Amino acid sequence: PTNEAEVEVFSVPSYACQRRTTLENRNTVLTDALSLLAENAELSAEEGRGVAFRRAAAVLKVLPEPVTDMTQLRGLPCLGEHSLRVIKDILENGASSEVESTKQSERFKALKVLTGVFGVGAKTADRWIREGIHDLQQLKDSRQTLNRAQRAGLEHYDDINQPVSKAEADAIGEIVEEAVASVLPGAQVTLIGGFRRGKLSGHDVDFLITHPEEGREVGLMPKIVSWLESQGFLLYQKTTRNSYLESDDGPARPCSNMDRFERCFSVFKLDEDEKRRAGQTQSHHASAEDGGLKPWRAVRVDLVVSPISQFAFALLGWTGSKLFERELRRWAGHEKTMSLSSHALYDNTQRTYLRATSEEEIFAHLGLDYIPPSERNA
Ligand code: CTP
Ligand code: MN
Ligand code: MN
Ligand code: MN
C-alpha cells in the first residue's frame, strides 16, 4: 500500500443483521441527513424510499472513520444514486440542499408537529394538513374529533416529546416490577427496545413480561393495568390483544397458543419522587412548592406479555432497532426461505417451526453470527 492516491476503502456486508452496529457513529452529519430524508419519506407514505435511506444511513454507521472522500464509498452496499448524491453534496458543500429545503418546508414541519401527538400517524396528519391544520393551536381551534389517545397526546404533548432518560426508564422499570410482582409472583420483566440496546435516552420505555410456566401469563395484562391504575400511575392506557392473526408477518401460521400476546400502549405519570427512589440524586424539575410547576412528567411506556415458549422470538423482535428487525426478516425470507416474526421462526422448505429458547439459537437457525443487543443499533 504505497499508492499516493490511496484512500481507506471499507468492506461491509449487505444486511444490517450481518453487521455490528454500536452507538459509536463517526458519520453523524451524513447519517442525520439521510435519516431526515428517510423520516420525510415515511411521513409521506413513501415507505420504499424511506427504507432505502435507512439502509444507506445504516451502512455509514458501521464505518470506522469519518467519510471524507466519495472514493471511500466504492463497493459499499445499499448506497443508491440518491443517497450518494446527498453524501456528495455534504462532502463538497458542507450541507445537502435537499435536506435543508426539506427541513424548511412547511409540509415537513407540519407533519413533524402533528405526528408528535401520540395517536396521530402520517395519514391523519396528512388529512389535517389538507384541511389547513399545520400546528397544535390550529388543531385545538379546529373542530376535529380526537380519539382518546390523541386527546392524551395533545394534553401531554411537551412531556411526551421530551426524551426519556435512562434514570427515568429505570424508575418506570421499578414500578412495572412492583406491579407484576403484586399480581403474579414469579413473572419476569425484561427491558426491551432502545434501552436494552444501551441507548441513554429514548422516546418511550418498552418492557416484555413473561412467566417461566407456560400458560400462567394468560390474562396477565389486564391485572397489571388494573394495579397500575389503582396506584395512580397511568394517565392513559390501551390494551390490545395480539394482532398476529391479522398481521402481514408472512406465511408463518399461528399455533394454538399464538393468540395470547397482549400489548399495552400507555402514558405513565412519573413522580420526581419515584425517580429519586430509583437512584437519581438530583431533580431538574422544580417542585410544586418552588414555583407551581408540576412535580411529575408523562412518559410513554409499551408493555408486551409473551408466553415463555415464544419469549426468545418476542425478545429478539422487540429489542430493535427497527431497521435491524426488518433486515433480519429480509435475511430470513430471501437468504434462508424462512419466515421470522416476534412469535416464531418457520422453515418454508422443511415446513416446520424452528424452536428456540434464546436469541443465540435464533441467530444460529438463521445461519448468522450472534449480534448482542448493544450491536443492533442499525
Ligand atoms: N415494534 C413492533 N411493533 C410495533 C412497534 C414497535 O414490533 N408496532 C418493535 C420495533 O421493531 C422495535 C421495538 O418494538 O424493535 C421498539 O420500538 P420503539 O419503542 O418504537 O423503538 P426503540 O428502538 O425502542 O427506540 P426509541 O428509543 O425511540 O423508543
Ligand atoms: Mn405519532
Ligand atoms: Mn422504545
Ligand atoms: Mn415502543
Q: Given pLDDT bands bounded at 50, 70 and 90, which one contains residue 354? A: very high
Residue range 226-267, pLDDT digits in tens: 999 999 999 999 999 865 544 444 444 444 444 458 999 999
Residue nearest to atom 16 of ligand 1 (CA): 193
183 and 299 part of one domain: yes
Three-state secondary structure readout of 194-256: HHHCCCCEECCEEEEEECCCCCCCCCHHHHHHHHHHHCCCEEEEEEEECCHHHCCCCCCCCCH
Tell me the three cell numbers of residue 65: 472513520
Ligand nearest to the CA of 377: 1
At residue 279, does pLDDT exceed 80?
no
CA 84 to ligand 1 centroid distance, Å: 28
Q: Tell me which of 126, 159, 206, 249 is the catalytic residue.
A: 206
The CATH number assigned to the domain holding 226 equals: 3.30.460.10
Weakest mean pLDDT among 25-39, 108-122, 277-291: 277-291
Ligand nearest to the CA of 193: 1
Higher pLDDT among residues 48 and 244, named by residue: 48
The alpha carbon of 340 is separated from its chain's Cα centroid by a whole number of angstroms, namely 18
Asked if 298 and 269 touch (Cβ cutoff 8 Å), the reply is yes
The SS3 assignment for 153 reads helix
Residue 358 lies in a domain: yes
Radius of gyration from C-alpha coordinates of the chain: 22
Last residue within a domain, chosen from 278, 308, 338: 308
Query: What's the rounded mean pLDDT across residues 193-218?
Result: 98
CA 23 to ligand 3 centroid distance, Å: 15
Ligand nearest to the CA of 265: 4
Residue 7 lies in a domain: no
Among 337, 340, 334, 330, smallest CA distance to 361 is for 340
Q: Which residues contact 15 (CB under 8 A, 6 or more apart)?
A: 327, 330, 331, 335
Q: Which residues contact 113 (CB under 8 A, 6 or more apart)?
A: 134, 135, 136
268 and 252 part of one domain: yes
Query: What's the rounded mean pLDDT across residues 47-72?
Result: 97
236 and 181 part of one domain: yes
302 and 170 part of one domain: yes
Residue 10 lies in a domain: no
Query: What's the rounded mean pLDDT across residues 115-123?
Result: 98
At residue 285, does pLDDT exceed 70?
no
User: Which amino acid type is present at position 85?
Assistant: R
267 and 324 part of one domain: no
133 and 215 part of one domain: no
Residue nearest to atom 28 of ligand 1 (CA): 203
The alpha carbon of 173 is separated from its chain's Cα centroid by a whole number of angstroms, namely 18
43 vs 28: CA distance, rounded Å: 22
Q: Given pLDDT bands bounded at 50, 70 and 90, which one contains residue 281? A: low
Question: What DSSP state is assigned to residue 156?
Answer: T
Residue 2 lies in a domain: no
Please confirm, yes or no, whether 248 is among the known catalytic residues.
Answer: no
Residue 197 lies in a domain: yes
CA 240 to ligand 4 centroid distance, Å: 14
Residue nearest to atom 15 of ligand 1 (CA): 320
Percent of residues, the chain, with pLDDT higher than 90 = 85
259 and 279 part of one domain: yes
Last residue within a domain, chosen from 275, 292, 308: 308
Last residue within a domain, chosen from 265, 282, 308: 308
CA 161 to ligand 2 centroid distance, Å: 10
Residues facing residue 301 across a β-bridge: 205, 266
Ligand nearest to the CA of 326: 1
Ligand 1 contacts (CB < 6 A) are 193-194, 199, 202-204, 206, 317-322, 325, 342
How many domains are contained in the chain?
A: 4
Please confirm, yes or no, whether 302 is among the known catalytic residues.
Answer: yes
The SS3 assignment for 274 reads helix
Residue 4 lies in a domain: no
The CATH number assigned to the domain holding 355 equals: 3.30.210.10
132: left (phi over 0), alpha (psi -120 to 50) or beta: left
Q: Tell me which of 32, 135, 159, 204 is the catalytic residue.
A: 204
Residue 175 lies in a domain: yes
Among 319, 290, 294, 292, smallest CA distance to 304 is for 319
Tell me the three cell numbers of residue 285: 424539575
Pocket perturbation via mutation, ligand 1, pick of 172, 206, 246, 329 by most ligand atoms within 8 A of CB: 206
145 and 186 part of one domain: no
The alpha carbon of 196 is separated from its chain's Cα centroid by a whole number of angstroms, namely 11
10 Å CB burial of residue 47 (0-12, 13-18, 19+) is: exposed
Tell me the three cell numbers of residue 288: 410544586
185 and 269 part of one domain: yes
What pLDDT is stored for residue 91 in this prediction? 98
CA 203 to ligand 3 centroid distance, Å: 6
At residue 367, does pLDDT exceed 80?
yes
Higher pLDDT among residues 201 and 261, named by residue: 201
Among 75, 71, 68, smallest CA distance to 6 is for 71
Q: Which residues contact 370 (CB under 8 A, 6 or more apart)?
A: 359, 360, 363, 364
Residue 299 lies in a domain: yes
131 and 209 part of one domain: no
The CATH number assigned to the domain holding 63 equals: 1.10.150.110
Among 218, 213, 193, 217, smallest CA distance to 204 is for 193
221 and 282 part of one domain: yes
What pLDDT is stored for residue 177 in this prediction? 98
Q: Tell me which of 89, 170, 302, 347 is the catalytic residue.
A: 302
Torsion 202-205-211-214 (CA) sign? negative
Q: Given pLDDT bands bounded at 50, 70 and 90, which one contains residue 288? A: low
193 and 276 part of one domain: yes
Q: Which atom of ligand 1 sits closest to the CA of residue 319? A: 15
What pLDDT is stored for residue 8 in this prediction? 73
Enclosing domain of residue 357: 314-375
Torsion 106-109-114-120 (CA) sign? positive
What pLDDT is stored for residue 79 in this prediction? 98
Strands 345-347 and 338-340: antiparallel
CA 104 to ligand 1 centroid distance, Å: 28
